[in-house]
Amino acid sequence: MQRISALDALRGLAIIAMVLVNNPGSWQAIYAPLKHADWHGLTPTDVIFPGFIFVMGVTIAIHLPRELTRLNSTMAVVRNTTRRAITLILLGWGLYLCWYNTGSPGYNWVEERLLSLRFAGVLPRLGVVYWLTVMLILAVSWRWVGLLAAVLLAGYWGAMEWIPYADVGGGIYQGRWEFGNSLAAYLDHHLLGANHVYYSAATPFAFDPEGILSTLPAVVTCLTGVWVGRYVLVQHGCPNKLMMLALAGICAGYGMAVINPINKALWSPTFVLVTSGILTILFWLSILYERKAGPLPKGHPLLVAGTNSIAFFMLSGILARVLLIIKVDGVSLKGHAWRFMQALPLPAEMASLLLASVFLIICYYPIKLMYNNGFFWRI
């Protein structure tokens, strides 16, 4: 099956950016564009994860019709989709469990890691969003993708704004988009449990940025990728119309931010509009480049990373943990590397970025070896 170079390149850009921003030398020394927004707002880093989900939607638009034709069975597609989703979830859980606090003699891995498993996360969200997107398309057909996305986004906004909820003391809240205080946080706290979410100490409700309710607008991001993928690659639609829609989405998102803040952790509707617009433009530019200049040459770093993105993500996650787990003279390997970088005549932020870049290169070469040997890890 012929691959679309532009799609692999965009996926590769997303995974390279994610590995870079997730592994600074020090979290206290990071350039502003490489940080997530503190709460409300948007930085370039906040666009990376939606980029993965958007590209996944484009991929669904291309491969789902082929899979339906090849298997000639909707139930077979459902089984394959479910298997892939479960695999992504289990990989995410496995990565979470790949940790041991060697600096604490009394550390109990079973209690502090296994029994406090974070159910949500990057890979579990990808798995759930992928499964829901495919199931919705199979249920309503392709022609209703745009309307379905709009209904889901409006429904999420309506639920967050109008459904009241209470804390343990009986206080009633409604329409909050605050850290630890939103309908999404309330549901995470009560359905996932405070010990199983990322922000376990948040008050009044512990929550997860990849939690339950905020998965719905993430599905909208994926459906946007599906719609754009079909419009560009299947229907060969008008690029000017696509650009106008993308710009309209960005303007609408920023314009509505006065009543609905742009927020990645809650995947707010304005966040969906702005990031989907940005990603649509990036995708069209990558397609346009491929049509004008031809596909990227074989072995291009973006293609290497994009064709084995899950392997890249897993490798970087495991290696990052190993560098923290292994200690020499009471200091982790990463700590020693950071001390070395700090000794260089560089600003702290540049030294931190340099160490992140070295880490990225180290992770890249095993993936490059996989690419050179024709090994592509399929979920």
CA–CA separation, 58 and 54 (whole Å): 6
- Give, in order, the Cα–Cα distances in Å from 147 to each of 69, 140, 356, 363: 25, 10, 41, 41
Asked which of 1-15, 260-274, 295-309 is least confident by mean pLDDT, the reply is 1-15
CA–CA separation, 315 and 7 (whole Å): 22
Half-sphere exposure of residue 276: CA atoms within 13 angstroms, side-chain side = 35
Per-residue model confidence (pLDDT) at position 378? 87
- Asked if residue 377 is part of any domain, the answer here is no
- Asked if residue 17 is part of any domain, the answer here is yes
Per-residue model confidence (pLDDT) at position 237? 80
Per-residue model confidence (pLDDT) at position 299? 94
- Asked if residue 98 is part of any domain, the answer here is yes
Instruction: For residue 172, list its beta bridge partners.
Output: 166
Per-residue model confidence (pLDDT) at position 238? 83
Per-residue model confidence (pLDDT) at position 82? 98
Checking if the pLDDT of 321 tops 70, the result is: yes
Give the tokens for residue 324. 């923290």
Checking if the pLDDT of 244 tops 90, the result is: yes
Mean pLDDT value of segment 225-242: 90
- Asked if residue 378 is part of any domain, the answer here is no
Radius of gyration of the chain (CA): 21
Mean pLDDT value of segment 269-284: 98
State the residue range of the domain holding 224.
5-372
- Asked if residue 135 is part of any domain, the answer here is yes
Say if residues 136 and 215 touch (Cβ distance below 8 Å): no
- Give, in order, the Cα–Cα distances in Å from 264 to each of 4, 99, 121, 209, 270: 29, 26, 14, 8, 10
- Asked if residue 379 is part of any domain, the answer here is no
pTM over 0.85: yes
Report the sign of the C-alpha dihedral through residues 265, 124, 19, 230, in that order.
negative
Following DSSP, what letter does each residue of 53-86 receive, concatenated? HHHHHHHHHHHHHHHHHHH--HHHHHHHHHHHHH
Please write down the HEC assignment for all residues of 191-253. Answer: HHCHHHCCECCCCCCCECCCCCCCHHHHHHHHHHHHHHHHHHHHCCCCHHHHHHHHHHHHHHH
Q: In this predicted model, what pLDDT tens digit does every residue of 53-105 receive, in sequence order?
A: 999 999 999 999 999 999 999 999 999 999 999 999 999 999 999 999 998 88
CA–CA separation, 56 and 222 (whole Å): 7
- Give, in order, the Cα–Cα distances in Å from 84 to each of 39, 73, 78, 89: 32, 17, 10, 9
Average pLDDT score over the chain:
96
Per-residue model confidence (pLDDT) at position 91? 98
Mean pLDDT value of segment 178-207: 98
**Closest C-alpha among 353, 339, 263, 320 to residue 31:** 353
Give CA angle at 372 (324, 333), nearest 5°. Answer: 10
Checking if the pLDDT of 1 tops 70, the result is: no
Q: How many domains does the chain have?
A: 1
Mean pLDDT value of segment 291-310: 94
Per-residue model confidence (pLDDT) at position 284? 94
Report the sign of the C-alpha dihedral through residues 148, 150, 156, 161, in that order.
negative
Looking at residue 343, the DSSP 8-state letter turns out to be: T
Residue 233 confidence class, pLDDT cut points 50, 70, 90? confident
Asked which of 237-241, 286-290, 348-352 is least confident by mean pLDDT, the reply is 237-241
Per-residue model confidence (pLDDT) at position 239? 85
Give CA angle at 292 (302, 234), nearest 5°. Answer: 80
Per-residue model confidence (pLDDT) at position 2? 57
Q: In this predicted model, what pLDDT tens digit does every residue of 15-51 receive, in sequence order?
A: 999 999 999 999 999 999 999 999 999 999 999 999 9
